[in-house]
Chains A and B, each alone.
Chain A
């Protein structure tokens, strides 16, 4: 399937999913769907660098929060419309990804992983001490009185935005996977020195992947302040974003765009159910345990099982 066809189909599905929300009377389902979609974007973004290239990013929460706090800042300073803020947050997080990549991607992958871990704490400390965006107290975001497009409530608009962002993330991931760029990344993952020798511009590709991955994570965060209507640093930088965006691709499978999607839908739905029926602490424990179990016992995830089953059949 050509990328253009895939994009058309994805957008068609996105519009159908958006239209379906007209018949959903319950706001809870919309907000649950919003959370699951947000995890699809995060997991897909993480997989660009983690799955395709083999560089582990522990700082998803930092990029996510960079997007969220760009929105908070612009909301306070200029009261811009939502689409502008989404673009701005995406750009800021992308630049952040480029900067971190530039500093650490020339070294062994381990150092990139540790640096991203450090990045979350540095940014967190910075935001806690930055009074303009609320500091440690957090910031309230007052939702606009009237909702555009004649939608019933603001959560509908956020849900629409998240559906579109999910579509964009999936299309970008799939397009990368099938291009020269994606094959270069796969070569880096398998053997970086061999790739370099074969003429793959490894550093440039890695930087590009880090930038796009960071940008998509930031994009997912831009609507968070409106969704929560109150952001504090520990909510935006929550470690659970980092854990989830690693666990979901690992559970789904890391070599194609389908893996993070499957992992995010499964794990995201399970978490929504557990959060309502048990408690949010248990739900985090389940994510952690699933991550460890999958990584030790099923290193190729669910897509790995599917492939093994297909191979046995043929």
Chain B
């Protein structure tokens, strides 16, 4: 097989841009699964909900989908708080989170998908933005703005979250929950409220990532399933509970997928993330930057 330079360079750039988007998709899982130990396998479903909300608002009012998702983050925050409340009351407090909590989130994933099919059908939806069809060229390398805009916003979001977690008082409380809940309680901080806040934050990132998704590619309800493996692969590969690790894992997966679709065809791409996940689970479950 030949590897022409321009093709390789383009695959690298596309992989890095894709990796930025993957970071936005999986940063929520890094928070909920990596730090709070809440195995939210319904995370991709919330991403698709974010996509459809961005789609509806854009379709009716013509606003930019990414701005819409940022403006609507209080709504996603409230949704996240509600879901964590139910999860806490029904599973975590009774110590049943491992089996029934998982089944609960699986049910939510399934209900969301079927409900979206019932409302919108299985047609693909796409949002057209002014930058959707613009591509910057630098020599032989393409920079499609459709990928560049989500990439930039996503990096800002992940870096902002990391700063918030490591610098602010509340962020440090979230990190502390990941390590020792009892110690937190002894310092008169309610771990449940901290977890509720952090989980809500993870749902906000899902909403924003949903807007990215519909800018990048057409969306239909079942698309979310492809991202389940991806988000956990990124989270496990990068190391649990480390946002820099998430970023690194996202770039690795983005590059791997971009190379597979360039050289073997896009129909093999989904197997990459899941294959990486299986390999990471089997050989290095602590991840690259894991503690």
Contacts and interface: CB of A to CB of B under 8 A. Distances in A.
A10 interface: no
A289 interface: yes
A283 B96 CA distance: 28
A103 B110 contact: no
B268 A288 contact: no
Interface size class of A (residues with CB under 8 A): 35 or more
A282 B270 contact: no
B136 interface: no
A113 B278 contact: no
Contact of A288 (B114, B282, B285): B114
Given A54-B99, A113-B39, A295 B115 contact: no
Interface in A55-82: 56, 58
B102 A56 contact: yes
B285 A107 contact: yes
A285 B108 CA distance: 10
Interface string B105-123: 0111011011101100000
B41 interface: yes
Interface of A: 50, 54, 56, 58, 103-104, 107, 109-111, 113-115, 117-119, 121-122, 124-126, 128-129, 136, 239, 243, 246-247, 250, 281-282, 284-285, 287-289, 291-292, 295-296, 299
A278 to B, nearest CB: 11
B39 A291 contact: no
Interface of B: 39, 41, 86, 90-91, 94, 96, 98-100, 102-104, 106-108, 110-111, 113-115, 117-118, 225-226, 228-229, 232-233, 236, 267-268, 270-271, 274-275, 277-278, 281-282, 285
B114 A284 contact: yes
A292 B268 contact: no
Given A110-B39, A114-B41, A125-B268, A281 B114 contact: yes
Given A54-B98, A285-B118, 4 more contacts: A103-B281, A104-B282, A109-B98, A115-B281
B121 to A, nearest CB: 10
Contacts of A246: 103, 106
B247 to A, nearest CB: 20
Nearest to A282: B118
Of B107, B228, B281, B282, chain A has the most CB atoms within 10 Å of the CB of: B107
